[in-house]
Structure 1
Amino acid sequence: MSPIRRALERKAAGEKFDFAARKALIVAGEAAVEPLGEIEAAEATTTPAAPGVLGAIVRRGSPAMRHVMQKAAANDTGPVDGSADLSPLDQMLLKLHGDKLRLKALQSTESKVALKRELLPEYLPWVEGRRAAAAKANAEGLVYRPGQDDVFVTATVWAIDIGAYPEALEMAAWCRRFEQVLPKQINRDLANFVTEEIAEAVIKAQRAEGGIAAAYPDFNIGAILGDLEELFREDQMFDQVRAKLQKALGLAVLATIPADAPADQTLPAQKVALRFLKRAAELDSASGCVKLIEGIERAIKKSEAPAS
């Protein structure tokens, strides 16, 4: 029987395990001295929100607690929360189990996204520790094989869900490098999932009030899409998914054109966008690009027509 299974069975047998209280303790940096059994509630302390892409995704909890988690993730040894009979990964999986139960209790997608935004900072030190271990091994010419890490994978999925795409891509690159497998309920491999989720979000943003520019004020979404294309360029992917990425790239280019720009100054961007959209239509005739292509071609023809 695995250590994590034993811990869950102890809980089922009546030993109280308050996931919400444990979460608060971890955030507050106090759980390292608590046993696995009954945990008393504690007030959570946080640092002020840091500026940047993530907004609410900030490094919370005491520096000492973050250091402990990063070290445990890097070495896969030592306590994360004082549970001596669980490995660091199993301790994090136990915490993840509790947080997933909280998410499962919610029916609203909007509420789930809000909770993921709140929870994700608690997993970032683990993510940073794993990435640091890989970087250190690479620098020393050593082979690093972390094995399947469902904590890291789930953090990657949550980062995508909340729209933290710069961080999500860095995490996805780690997952790809170390052949991580997504949860069964996603029913897609890494390349198809990451590409489709981000591309669909950009396409949806284009139809919303304010468009793509308003949806992504904190980073260059066109650059993110370009990095996404490069990351999975050699991977097998459904044509329909790759078509969505090409469409999103085209829409992102069009979004850079100022509304009051003279027609002759819009030509370069229009031609680049047209290339992406035509490729999307080639990959998937049902991608919804035909009218966009026709409209851009008319605009280009009008701009290039000789003055009468």
Structure 2
Amino acid sequence: MTNPCRRHFQRVTAAVAAAAVAPSVSMAGMNAYEQQLQQLNQVRRRLKQVQSEQGKAELKRTLIPAYAPYIEGVLFAGNGAQDDVLTTLMVWCIDAGFFANALDIGAYVLKHNLKMPDRFARTTGCLLAEEVANGALKVQKAGGDFPLYVLEQAQTITDAHDMPDEARAKLHLATGKAMLGMVDEQQLDGELLERAKTQLAKAIDLHGSCGGKKDLERVDRFLKKYAESKPTEPSTGTPTAN
């Protein structure tokens, strides 16, 4: 799959196939689609032999790049035909920790209202918002940094989609934490702090037990410190007549 010519051919054939199928019609029967679906089914059999969830995620991380040309072709030229390969790869990207890639696919899936496989009970918007948030919160809990732009993209593409308040609260919480993690205590950024406060307050409003209250208290302390560090404007009273 490292052969550039081969990757270009797969990208083009996927784009041609996706462009040829009307919205709401299945991609079934198109050669480019059927080939990818057959490969996915083979991989599923391999995954069933792996008991470890981490082991499955690692296997997906190694295999997903092989499907990149197909994904790129469909996203570039697709009209929104039902594509079980694409929806499956979106979920696999989440499982593998490729959240930015999952959201790129997710934006297309949501735009065209593609159906998820029956085994998924959550709506696509809820799945994307909650799983990205869960991934971010896991990284943050371990003391790591999660890309803010990924969280903001997740909010952007799922904002109009209905989901339980608790799921959306997780995404606001993770976003607020990401912003708070960017704060430089020696050079406070008032705008960044206000943005973090908005995210954390929204998370708490949606789900009071989301776990963001201590973070919000910390933001408020920073905002108070920031306000106190601002120079006081000199008084400009009217001169007194002699």
Q: Which interval holds the TM-score relative to the shorter structure?
A: 0.7 to 0.9
Percent identity between matched residues is 30
Letter in 1 for 2:221: R
Letter in 2 for 1:120: I
Aligned to 1:99: 43
Letter in 2 for 1:119: L
* 115-124 vs 125-134, greater mean Cα deviation: 125-134
Letter in 1 for 2:7: R
Aligned to 1:281: 204
Q: Distance in 2 between matches of 1:207 and 1:166?
A: 20
SS in 1 for 2:188: helix
1:89 lines up with 2:15 in the alignment: no
Higher relative contact order (CA 8 A, sep 6+): 2
Aligned to 2:154: 228
Q: Give me the TM-score of the superposition, normalised by structure 1.
A: 0.65
Q: Which ranges in structure 1 are unaligned for 5 or more consecutive residues?
A: 1-59, 78-84, 135-143
Can you list the C-alpha shifts for 1:4-31, whole angstroms capped at 9, x where unaligned? xxxxxxxxxxxxxxxxxxxxxxxxxxxx
Q: Distance in 2 between matches of 1:277 and 1:187?
A: 28
Letter in 1 for 2:208: S
Preserved contact between residue 75 and residue 108 of structure 2 (Cα < 8 Å):
yes
Can you list the C-alpha shifts for 1:164-198, whole angstroms capped at 9, x where unaligned? 22222211111112221222333211110111111
Q: Distance in 1 between matches of 2:3 and 2:225?
A: 61
Preserved contact between residue 93 and residue 102 of structure 2 (Cα < 8 Å):
yes
Structure that is richer in helix per residue: 2
Moved over 4 A (4+): none
SS in 1 for 2:201: helix
Can you list the C-alpha shifts for 1:104-132, whole angstroms capped at 9, x where unaligned? 21111211111101110111111122123
Can you list the C-alpha shifts for 1:221-256, whole angstroms capped at 9, x where unaligned? 212211221112211122111111111110010111
Can you list the C-alpha shifts for 1:233-290, whole angstroms capped at 9, x where unaligned? 21112211111111111001011123xx32x625443332112111100011121112
Q: Distance in 1 between matches of 2:159 and 2:223?
A: 30
Task: Compute the RMSD of aligned alpha carbons.
Answer: 2.4
Q: Which ranges in structure 2 are unaligned for 5 or more consecutive residues?
A: 19-28, 232-242
Per the alignment, do residues 298 and 183 of structure 1 end up closer, same or farther by CA in structure 2, a change over 3 Å counting? Answer: same
SS in 2 for 1:182: coil
Aligned to 1:200: 134
1:290 lines up with 2:213 in the alignment: yes
Letter in 2 for 1:122: A
Q: Distance in 2 between matches of 1:299 and 1:67?
A: 51
Q: Give me the TM-score of the superposition, normalised by structure 2.
A: 0.81
1:111 lines up with 2:55 in the alignment: yes
Report the Cα offset of residue 76 of structure 1.
Answer: 3.0
Q: Distance in 2 between matches of 1:233 and 1:145?
A: 20
